[in-house]
Amino acid sequence: MLDSSLPRRTPELIDWESLSVITALIMVSKGLELSGIFSRLAPHLIRAANHSERRLMVLFILVISLSSAVIMNDTAMLVFIPLVVATSKIARVDTARAVTLSAIAANMGSALTPIGNPQNIIIWHSYGLGFLEFVRSMFPFVSIWLLVLFSFTLTIKNRELSVEWIPPVALRKTLLVVSLVSLVADILLTEIGKAPLAFIFTLFAFLLLGREVLRGFDWALILTFAFIFIDFNELAFLLRNADLKFPTGGVGLFFVSAVLSQLFSNVPATVLLLASKPEWLPLSLGVNIGGSGIVVGSMANLIALRIAGVSVRDFHRYSIPYFLVALLVSALFLV
């Protein structure tokens, strides 16, 4: 009400390319879910974990963290969270814990590469870093973060799982093929900077061969993400205009970037702090570790919660302790 320029600026606050990719990938996620593939795969995952709850969680962490380094953390959540939920229900394990640890795995694994998440892409391009240079610098810290995450699985009671009930879901092969082709197309088009085409391709694919996906699509989720972009980017705009001074290197920058990520997400925090041209490594470490902890730290967290239907309170039971431990260990290593 006080800022007359806000209505005019609002469309510019939305990251339309990211929103296009998110929309396309949510369609793909719904298509994979309706195809029945997750219900079919869940019992096989339980057997691959040798019917051990702890091994099942370790398996999820390994697969999701490695995948997110290549296909981005948001994509990993859209692809794997329905599988995590389906497997958790069949195996009767704590869904909230499985979803939270999976989201942390996506955030930490994606930190390894410049293409693993949006904040890394921004930093990579802004500093003109080489791909391998970025990976080499991040590798020791990502290894520490994943080791801390694996240590959290030791708190899981290693009970034996049994597949007592398998949903009688037929595999819909056409819908599965359309979803997988759309997934590959979305990733490739996004990598070459053609995000709007990813949305158009996926929309027409499901219009032709999977209209039930569009009928069951969570359109409110897309509106939610649009408002998240508006709110977080406006907050970053206000802080920039306040001419605040932030640390430009070392542990100070690491802590500030991690804390700001907790307040209004790691991508806007990256954009805000880049204005002072700080050291890239402490900045990257802070905004990546800041993706864990409070749910707004990363878009991947919000996607995971929305798809899985897990409460924020249950998510924070596991995410905040992890954030505090990983933050302290990283700071000691950085010093």
- What is the pLDDT at residue 42? 65
Least confident segment among 24-28, 131-135, 289-293 = 24-28
Domain boundaries, the chain: 15-334
Q: CA angle 103-192-17, nearest 5°?
A: 60
DSSP state string for 116-181: SSHHHHHHHHHHT--HHHHHHHHHHHHHHHHHHHHHHHTTS--PBP-----------HHHHHHHHH
DSSP state of 249: S
- Stronger pLDDT, 119 or 323, i.e. the higher one: 323
Q: Give residue-wise pLDDT tens across range 185-229.
A: 877 887 777 878 888 999 999 998 888 888 877 787 788 778 877
Q: pLDDT band at residue 120, thresholds of 50, 70 and 90?
A: confident
Across residues 67-78, what is the average pLDDT? 80
Contact status, residue 192 vs residue 45, Cβ threshold 8 Å: no
Structure tokens at 151: 């240590």
- Can you say whether the dihedral through the CA atoms of 326, 79, 302, 51 is positive or negative? negative
Strand partners, 52: 160
Check if the beta carbon of residue 68 is closer than 8 Å to that of residue 106: yes
For the purposes of burial, counting CB atoms within 10 Å of the CB of 44, is it exposed (0-12), middle (13-18) or buried (19 or more)? exposed
Residue 166 pLDDT more than 60? Answer: no
pLDDT at 320: 93
- Confidence band (pLDDT; 50, 70, 90) for 164? low
Between CA 167 and CA 186 the distance in angstroms is 30
pLDDT at 148 over 90: yes
Joined together, the tokens standing for residue 335 give 């010093």
Q: Per-residue pLDDT for 157 more than 90? A: no
105 pLDDT higher than 80: yes
Residue 286 has pLDDT above 70, yes or no: yes
Question: What pLDDT, on a 0 to 100 scale, did the predictor assign at position 329?
Answer: 92
Spatial distance between the Cα atoms of 36 and 32, rounded to a whole number of angstroms: 7
pLDDT of amino acid 103: 92
**Backbone torsion region of residue 203, taken as left when φ is above 0, otherwise alpha when ψ lies between -120 and 50, otherwise beta:** alpha
Global pTM?
0.75
